[in-house]
Structure 1
């Protein structure tokens, strides 16, 4: 600081100009969005390593290890099939209800897992945040990568189920790749949004399970999507069918199943999926970036 003052008095330059010429920045300054993005890219190896460590830590103490990534959605699908497909008989109107139900459970579970983990991502890593300097978005992005890895394993099992239930293997199955990329980007934005929100309002974490349960019931996971057209009309039907999770689930059903009735035309579903990905993916990223300097304080 003494040298800075001397330089300032000797050159007659403003302190801000002297700092700029010496590569100094204000403490606690929020980087611009492009600068923040470049920082994240430079930490890509840390993000990958952190994601791998999360997988090892979560599964290393269990006897079945990574099998739980497959067993959990399978058990859920089995329970839902007995309750909704057999007892309540919601399978009416769907020729292959097993494939229909499993797709809904697996794809919804992808987003559900990201949201639940994202809501805890900042709060549960305060020690790391306070000890080290790195872009805080690395944490929710790492969590999203963990769930991307899980859904890849789960999709292999899902495709076996769909094929074994009688669906033919077609070139349209390749459409699951762009659909999952869009959903993963959507999930990352959602994870960053709930991460910042939950870090400011801790009670949000208690509401997440109820919100996700309601969201599941509104995403035609457990019953035919035709139930919406049977009971809703006009703007109400439009709003319900624009549900982003319903859109992603319907895209996977369109890719893996033949003769399945969808909530809209494939072109409309793809358009809505891209729109939701841009809005939530970019919006969640910007929202999280705006709170970058506040994480770990207080």
Structure 2
């Protein structure tokens, strides 16, 4: 009724017509996608600074501080090696199993942490959202930047592990940079999807550890990828081999591990094609999905 009422008896214009004449817009209204993208880019310095501050503060209350960025994946890799490398003896059919396992754990944790933290990207920043007007996509992007900075610290340790276990330093190591770029784009889109879902489904964060654990076992992190073809129907093995974390992990192993070249199930060019496809589909699709919910964030 407010939109149809005459706001100015002298002019005969309604409130909506007056607002349109003077360039006024509804507070929190979702802008067009192109405009939204430009606004998000304008906040790039904020996202960078905010992510650095979050990395610095995340371990500020611990005695070892940011060293935990390296200790956490190393501890996980040690536990998985004890179970799958010593007790289960998965390493019998894998050359240099330690480097193979650590590469899988480090790369998978990048996506796992981004997805898990993404569920609270909106709900954990309601005060900031309600106090300031900015593109809400900056928050899930910041989550990915935080995880990327932590991964880069871990990659230094991973490089040392790979060299100490007998792998040579080759020019193929340079391929790790475009692989991480594609995985980062994929993670940004995934984090945006999880952020919007997490803002709607309050219990999602409680369910995610179970989902991510299943995803871990389906990504060839802990055992040879060839086991999929040996123990699963062809269609199921093909589906799992297209699993995005597995694709990124296999590309990382292809880049860093000379001993893994002969055991690649999927040709490198196909892996790169799948990685590019996943980055585009999830990156663009996740961004559009998050943008469509822009007006919902922080309401209620």
Tell me if both proteins adopt one fold, taking TM over 0.5 as the criterion: yes
**CA separation in 1, counterparts of 2:127 and 2:100?**
43
Gap regions ≥5 residues in structure 2? 1-5
Please name the residue that 2:293 is paired with: 291
Please name the residue that 2:280 is paired with: 278
RMSD: 1.9
**CA separation in 2, counterparts of 1:93 and 1:64?**
37
Please name the residue that 2:179 is paired with: 179
4+ long deviations beyond 2 Å:
4-9, 12-29
TM-score (norm 1): 0.93
Deviation at 1:55, TM superposition (A): 1.2
Distance 1:132 1:27, change over 3 A: closer
Aligned residue-pair number: 293
Distance 1:7 1:184, change over 3 A: farther
Please name the residue that 2:116 is paired with: 116
**CA separation in 1, counterparts of 2:195 and 2:26?**
26
**CA separation in 2, counterparts of 1:75 and 1:28?**
44
Equivalent residues of 1:8, 1:15 under 8 A apart: no
Please name the residue that 2:157 is paired with: 157
Deviation at 1:21, TM superposition (A): 5.4
Which is further off, 194-203 or 53-62?
53-62
CA shift digits 1:107-128 (9 cap, x unpaired):
0011111111111111111111
Helix, strand or coil for the counterpart of 1:120?
Answer: coil
**CA separation in 1, counterparts of 2:205 and 2:189?**
17
Deviation at 1:56, TM superposition (A): 2.0
Please name the residue that 2:236 is paired with: 236
Equivalent residues of 2:56, 2:66 under 8 A apart: no
Task: Give the 5 Å matches for 1:60-139.
Answer: 60-139=60-139
Deviation at 1:232, TM superposition (A): 2.1
Helix, strand or coil for the counterpart of 1:91?
Answer: helix
Distance 1:166 1:7, change over 3 A: farther
**CA separation in 2, counterparts of 1:172 and 1:49?**
32
Which is further off, 272-281 or 255-264?
255-264
Gap regions ≥5 residues in structure 1? none
TM-score (norm 2): 0.93
